[in-house]
Amino acid sequence: MALIETSPPASLWSRLVGRLERFGRRFRPRFDWIAADVTDRCNLRCTFCGTDHSGRSGTVMDRTTFQRLCGLMPLVADGACLLSCRFEPLLHPCLMDLIESIPACSRRKVAFTTSLAMPLDDETIGRLGASGIHHVNVSVESLRADVYEAIRRGGRFAGFLDNLGRLAARFAVPGAPRLRFITVVLQENVDELVSIVETCATRYGGSHHELRHVYEPLGAARRGRRLRGHARPGRYRLRPVHDR
């Protein structure tokens, strides 16, 4: 009777990870993105989100799986390994432990998006600021309390602003991750898009700001269709006001 090995021995896996890391250092990135949710939950129910949250089990990525993900990080460019896709990564109870377990040579590959809706203590923000990852995207659909709480169901505007202010202050320290922003263009916020972008750049030190459609109309990007009288959805690299 022959026994079939269904999973590689630890030593074999370690050698494979080492080869991937060497491959990533020698060649240009082989993949555009890696999107790997570390949780399957969100703490908000945003009006524009199409994710079905029924039947979610609260599963989080375990350390073994995460270590295997670390082996793939050298295959993408800096900031292209996303620890979030549809869900909130800060709900993972050991997120900072996982990030701090990433080899130093791969930390810059990592980024994630957060709503900043859950309470964050200063220790977590400090560890995030010292983590060495590439950037953090913050979702901000409005800077008006009534509009924010109408769009971000379950969110508290005061708590969001408190988190954002402390995170921006920590990320202003040299060597900290970059702070980026994403805004989904909606009927409710279209009149304040310019104000949102300006405030995120000047008050909170954002380096990039991406404006997104809820759904990208077929061919809209190719035709360059614009929102009349408003900012066009797309990615914008921000500069200080005095450089304009």
Q: What is the pLDDT of residues 45-103, one digit of tens each?
A: 777 676 666 666 678 999 999 999 999 999 999 999 999 988 899 999 999 999 999 99
Q: What is the Cα Rg of the chain in Å?
A: 20
Q: Pairing relation of β-strands 45-46 and 152-153?
A: antiparallel
Q: DSSP for 17-50? A: HHHHHHHHHHS--S-S-EE--SBS--S-EETT--
Of 41, 54, 49, 89, the residue nearest 69 (C-alpha) = 89
Q: Which of 69, 45, 42 is nearest to 58 (CA)?
A: 42
3.30.70.640, 3.40.50.150, 3.40.50.2300, 3.20.20.70: CATH of 29-243? 3.20.20.70
Q: How many residues does this entry show for the chain? A: 244
Pairing state between β 135-139 and 110-114: parallel
Locate 26 and state its tokens. Answer: 């020698």
Task: Tell me what pLDDT residue 231 has.
Answer: 47
Examine the pLDDT at 184 and tell me if it is beyond 70.
yes
Mean pLDDT over the full length of the chain: 82
Residue 27: partners with Cβ closer than 8 Å, 6 or more residues away: none
- Could you tell me which residue, 52 or 36, shows the higher pLDDT? 36
Residue 201 scores a pLDDT above 50: yes
Contact 109, 80 (CB under 8 A): yes
pLDDT attached to residue 79: 96
Angstrom distance (rounded) from CA 228 to CA 238: 22
Sign of CA dihedral 111, 50, 43, 212: positive
Looking at residue 1, its pLDDT comes to 36
The predicted model gives 90-118 an average pLDDT of: 95
pLDDT of residue 102: 97
| Amino acid identity, position 213 | H
* Tally of CB atoms within 10 A around 198: 15
Q: Which residues of 5-19 are buried (b: 16+ CB within 10 A; e: fewer)?
A: eeeeeeeeeeeebee
**Rounded CA gap, 110 and 131, in Å?**
10
Please determine, for residue 216, whether its predicted confidence score (pLDDT) is greater than 90.
no
Per-residue tokens: 173: 């320290």
